[in-house]
Amino acid sequence: MKKIIFLMLALSGFAFAAEGSMNQWLASFSILAAGLGLGVAALGGAIGMGNTAAATIAGTARNPGLGGKLMTTMFIALAMIEAQVIYALVIALIALYANPFQALVAA
């Protein structure tokens, strides 16, 4: 855990190295937040998908007759999990390219 924190602090130095207006600071924070947020969302989605697949395989192994229904339910659950990761991607792209906080800083 200490290595991860040290790496984040070391890399944030490059993001904040630019001297200038508050918009540059905001852009740097937005880049860091988008990267970290999307990474956490992808990690959570991968864990959720793995648990869903494992539960489906275990259910099919216990009762092979329900395999078709379990697979259908699994695909619906995977689509919902993936939708959450896509929402995180959309929010990250908004933070990077159409940052609503830049209007607040400029005012």
Would you give the distance in Å from CA 90 to the centre of its chain? 10
On the question of pLDDT at 103 being above 70, the answer is no
Three-state DSSP at 37 gives helix
Fold for 21-106, please state it.
Answer: F1FO ATP Synthase (1.20.20)
pLDDT per residue as tens digits for the range 61-82:
999 999 999 999 999 999 999 9
Q: State the CB neighbour count (10 A cutoff) for residue 84.
A: 13
Classify residue 37 as left (phi > 0), alpha (psi -120 to 50) or beta: alpha
pLDDT at residue 66, rounded to an integer? 92
Best mean pLDDT range from 35-39, 57-61, 93-97, 99-103: 57-61
Domain ranges of the chain: 21-106
pLDDT per residue as tens digits for the range 14-55:
666 555 566 777 777 888 888 888 999 999 999 999 999 999
